[in-house]
Amino acid sequence: MTSEPAQMPVRLGVVGLGRGFMLMIPTFTADPRVKLVAAAAPRAESRAAFEAEFGGRTYDDIVPLCADPEVEAVYIATPHQMHADHVCTALAAGKHVLVDKPIAISMADADRMVAAAEASSKHLIVGPSHSFDPPVEAAARLIESGEVGSLRMIQAFNYTDFLYRPRRPEELRTEEGGGILFSQAIHQIDVVRRLAGGLATRVTAMTGAWDPARPTEGAFSALIAFANGSFASLTYSGYAHFDSDVWMDNVGELGQRKDPAAYGKARRALQGLDAEAEAALKQTRTYGSGAGLIEAENNEHFGPVIALCDRADLRLTPAGLDVFGDIERRFVEVPFGPAPRGPVIDALVGAVREDRAPAQTGAWGRASLEICHAILESAASGQPVDLQRQCGIT
């Protein structure tokens, strides 16, 4: 991340001032290459907070924001089910778009969004996702260099409290994008696709939905085959028992130091709450509610990832790459910048100022979404699922 902008900052409008936006604030405020100039959100409290902190204009709907001539690009951080309409609106208005993962819930919506980007000649970037993490990019480039030989296998696993963080009712319904597949598996899928070159061919999977009070997928394991002959095994559980951050130097997903005394906090917070009270609790974590920001001290991560190559195995950590070679072990440091998501801004600036597409295009996001659906389909049928909409690195 640069300390001085090389050109005028990208003037960004934000649609949705919820938790996703909260997680991007440290990056937006630390990077002079982007300037927040407008926001759209239904809650007056959030709009007032945005105006007080960032200035600019606020709207209660996306349409007038996209008509604002000051806005060059739009960051869409609304709930999953709104992404398709919001992305297409922004693209039709001639704006570049950064949309939170997943690109959409349905494949039909993803197809519509990719087509809209192609018709508009504007860039559609899907992120932030953990495929942007600096250690992931460093590992991908090391593999691509050929220095460690051909990639053969990837193991990615993560155990979190995701399913017991405060949820709105639709976030516990798979058909509406709830559960761990669309919000969490998408990260692992993006990471292993980035390391393996993107072109997955087949998925075999099983899922778990083991708590009737949270009636959606809370766990899965999948085996993904790639066109280059490599394969990846992915495992995730969001049932709030084992915490795999103990294997990540006690660093949390967002780069923060973990407090061991906080174990069990997620489940305790939900005790005695009905659906309405739980949704109200979630609201306290959004922008304008007084919630604090995450203080990151390290690169973000999404659990342990090991890439096995012909001449070395690579273990990704928040600090860099642990390289286990044939006869030597070395560590490749990946420094932490002033904010954890600088590569997302790299992608945005590259798209807007240089007409340069990142790996995480709309087509990339659609390919990762296809694997989410393939996991569900394979788990239901007990059979492998062949993939049709995959893409490589652009």
Q: Where are the domains of the chain?
A: 10-129+339-370, 131-338
**Contacts of 32 by beta carbon, 8 Å cutoff, 6+ apart:** 2, 3, 4, 5, 9
The single-letter code of the amino acid at 317 is T
Taking alpha carbons only, the member of 370, 389, 385, 377 closest to residue 106 is 370
Instruction: Work out the angle at residue 265's Cα, subtended by the Cα atoms of residues 262 and 271, and round it to the nearest 5 degrees.
Output: 160
Residue pair 158/188 in contact by the 8 Å Cβ criterion: yes
Taking alpha carbons only, the member of 75, 62, 87, 77 closest to residue 286 is 77
| Domain pair 10-129+339-370 / 131-338, same fold | no
Task: List the chain pLDDT tens, one digit each, 394 residues.
Answer: 444 445 899 999 999 999 999 999 999 999 999 999 999 999 999 999 999 999 999 999 999 999 999 999 999 999 999 999 999 999 999 999 999 999 999 999 999 999 999 999 999 999 999 999 999 999 999 999 999 999 999 999 999 999 999 999 999 999 999 999 999 999 999 999 999 999 999 999 999 999 999 999 999 999 999 999 999 999 999 999 999 999 999 999 999 999 989 999 999 999 999 999 999 999 888 888 878 888 899 999 999 999 999 999 999 999 999 999 999 999 999 999 888 899 999 999 999 999 999 999 999 999 999 999 999 999 999 999 999 999 998 7
Taking alpha carbons only, the member of 98, 85, 121, 127 closest to residue 14 is 98
pLDDT recorded at residue 338: 82
Instruction: Work out the angle at residue 328's Cα, subtended by the Cα atoms of residues 326 and 331, and round it to the nearest 5 degrees.
Output: 120
Measured distance CA(347)–CA(143) in Å, rounded: 21
Task: Identify the residue whose tokens are 């398709």.
Answer: 84
Task: Pull the structure tokens for residue 203.
Answer: 């998925």
pLDDT recorded at residue 6: 54
Measured distance CA(212)–CA(232) in Å, rounded: 30
Measured distance CA(200)–CA(203) in Å, rounded: 8
Q: What CATH number matches the domain at 10-129+339-370, 3.40.50.150, 3.10.100.10, 3.40.630.30, 3.40.50.720?
A: 3.40.50.720
In the CATH hierarchy, which top-level class contains the domain 131-338? alpha beta
Q: What is the CA radius of gyration of the chain?
A: 20
- C-alpha of 209 from chain center: 22
pTM, full prediction? 0.96
